[in-house]
Every structure is written in structure tokens, then in C-alpha cells.
Amino acid sequence: MKPVTAVACANIALAKYWGKAEIGRNLPAVPSLSLTLDALRTRTTVTPDPALDEDVVTLDGRVARDKEARRVVGMLDTLRARAGVTARARVESANAFPTAAGLASSASGFAALALAGSRAYGLALSEGELSSLARAASVSAGRSIFGGWVVLPARAEQAEPLAPSGHFPVAMVVALTRAGEKPVGSTEGMIRTASNSPYYPAWVEHAPRLFERIKRGVLEKNLEAMGPAVESSALWMHASMFAADPPIVYFSPVTIAVMERVRELRAAGVQAYFTMDAGPHVKVLTQSESVDAVADALRAVPGVLDVIRSGPGPAAFVEPGGAT
């Protein structure tokens, strides 16, 4: 056992996952496809320490809340059982972007934890096994083990790489539209949607079609062909939430304004397509040559707090030297 530091990048789904096929095993009800993002990183150090009575988890320098710590401890328990050890650990995790605001911090966080934790406890897991471990904690985290374009089939235990980060010259611009944390977490939001939204069965039935269109577009390197399906995937997912009881609405007025600006950019000949997750921020997929123009246009939308631009990112990796 030794301290290990790992880095993982967040991923943004272009074909969305929303809903579980099995809640207990945390398997996705629909196939998803994502792009791993270079600029949104989590760095996590796991230090096993036999002197500790319990795991100590800090996130961005503060002690983790109970709910956050439970999922971390759950993953560490799985690793300890596999490694046949009992030592508790110190986990220190830091994000290079705002957490819990729909920027998929749980994805990069659990991917980094799976890699750092498994190595710290002396396990040499394959990428597929790491993806399965991360997915069990948070489905989208299963995709952050891999770099570039990644697929997670419906009901799958592990994600699969689709194409490497250099496959296709695209970039993403994230427009931050509201400070602070989201009111309803994604797990709670999707369980509520599945339990009572009359549109949820339609989402599960039709989402795979969009996934196939997006996957074909990626493989053919054709942004124009996949872009409308990317926007539909986000809008269909949010439509299923609007119809939940009580309704789940992550949109802010600025969200709508940014989407409108993206449509104007397209009308002016720029290839740009929005997506949105369980938060009010808007992520815009574009050609890498247009990233500055798109970032400037989104920054100028009244109410946009900041923009982050990113290219495709690498697979999760262990930091040279291991420990902090």
C-alpha cells in the first residue's frame, strides 16, 4: 500500500444518459456517448493509513459532507474487499472547475478515485475494470476512465473507447450561467423522472436512435450530421424531467439566451451545437478553429458569468511520482 495520485478529466455526454435500468447495480437505461474534456480535471490522492479509524475525505480542501463521503467510502470498501486489506485511507480530491453545478465533477472525481484507490491498495485493474468500478459509483464516471470519444451501452457494466482524442478537430465551450450548487442532484432527478414522468418511457424508447446518429457522426467526423441529434438528446432528456412531479427544471433565463445565441451563430455559418446537463450551464460543441469566436460570442451574452474552453482530453492517468 502506498499513496497514489491520479488525474481524470470530466466528460460531457453528447448522447445523454438519464435513468437507470437497475438502481441497485447502477446500470444505465439508455446508451450514452461522451467527449472527455482536457480543461476539466480532478486530481485525487489516496493514502491508505492503518492508523486511521475511518476514511477521511476532503473535497477542494473541505471535509466531505456525509452524502458525498458515503459514495467514496463505498468505492474504497469495494477495493479493500478485492485487495483483502482493511486499512482506511485519506482521500484528498481537488477540481480545476466549479463543483456540483452540472459540470460533471462526480464523473472525473470517481474516475480519479477508482484509479488512485485501486493502485494505492495494490490492485492492477484493467481500464474496463476501472470503468466498471467508477460506473458503480456514478454512471457517467465510467466514461471518464477513457480519453476522447467514449460509448457506454445501455445496461453495460463498463464504457468503451470509440475514438481517440485527436480523431476529429472539435472543441467545447462551457458557458457558466449561475453560481452555486444545483438544487436537485442528477441521481435524485433521474430516479424521480423514471418514477412518475409520463415522458420517461418515451425517452428510453427513443434515446437510442439519437445515440446511433451521434455515433455515426463521430465515426464519420461529421459535426453537421450529428449536431442536431446532440441538441435533441439534451432537449428530450430535459423534456422528460419537465414532466416529472414535482417538475425538475435546470434551465435559467441565461441558459435559454445562450441556446439562442448558438442558433444565431449557426445562422451566421459557424458550426456550433449546444448540450446541457443537470445544471443551468450550456456546453457548446464546435470545430476547434471556431472555438475563440464561439467563446467570445457566449461571453457577450448578458448573464454569462464565465466561459471555459476545452479540447478533447486524455484517459485517466497516475501522476508521475504517485503521491502528492
Name the site residues for ligand DP6 (rule: CB under 6 A): 13, 16-18, 26, 32, 104, 106, 138-140, 186-187, 277-278
| Cβ closest to ligand DP6, residue 7 vs residue 15 | 15
Mention every residue, 6+ apart, whose C-beta is less than 8 A from residue 186.
106, 140, 277, 278
Q: What's the closest the beta carbon of residue 138 comes to ligand DP6, in angstroms?
A: 3
Give the integer Cα–Cα distance in Å for 25 and 281: 29
Q: What's the closest the beta carbon of residue 191 comes to ligand DP6, in angstroms?
A: 8
Give the integer Cα–Cα distance in Å for 156 and 158: 6
| Cβ closest to ligand DP6, residue 6 vs residue 30 | 30
- The answer to whether 304 and 255 have CB atoms below 8 angstroms apart is no
Q: From residue 103, give the alpha-carbon distance in Å to each of 41, 98, 106, 177, 206.
A: 11, 7, 8, 12, 25
Q: What's the closest the beta carbon of residue 102 comes to ligand DP6, in angstroms?
A: 7
Looking at residue 198, the DSSP 8-state letter turns out to be T
| Cβ closest to ligand DP6, residue 5 vs residue 34 | 34
| Cβ closest to ligand DP6, residue 17 vs residue 168 | 17
Q: What's the closest the beta carbon of residue 130 comes to ligand DP6, in angstroms?
A: 16
What would the grid cell of residue 83 be? 485487495
Residue of 36, 94, 44, 10 whose CA lies nearest to 319: 44
What would the grid cell of residue 107 be? 464523473
Give the integer Cα–Cα distance in Å for 119 and 130: 11
| Cβ closest to ligand DP6, residue 22 vs residue 264 | 22
Give the integer Cα–Cα distance in Å for 317 and 115: 7
Looking at residue 312, the DSSP 8-state letter turns out to be B
Q: What's the closest the beta carbon of residue 128 comes to ligand DP6, in angstroms?
A: 18
| Cβ closest to ligand DP6, residue 165 vs residue 275 | 275
One-character DSSP codes across 170-186? EEEEEEE---S--SS-H
Q: What's the closest the beta carbon of residue 132 comes to ligand DP6, in angstroms?
A: 13
What would the grid cell of residue 205 be? 424508447
| Cβ closest to ligand DP6, residue 91 vs residue 297 | 91
| Cβ closest to ligand DP6, residue 23 vs residue 256 | 23
Q: Which residue has the cell 490522492?
A: 45
Q: What's the closest the beta carbon of residue 276 comes to ligand DP6, in angstroms?
A: 8
Q: What's the closest the beta carbon of residue 156 comes to ligand DP6, in angstroms?
A: 13
Tell me, rounded to whole angstroms, the distance of Cα 94 from its chain centroid.
16
Tell me, rounded to whole angstroms, the distance of Cα 224 from its chain centroid.
23
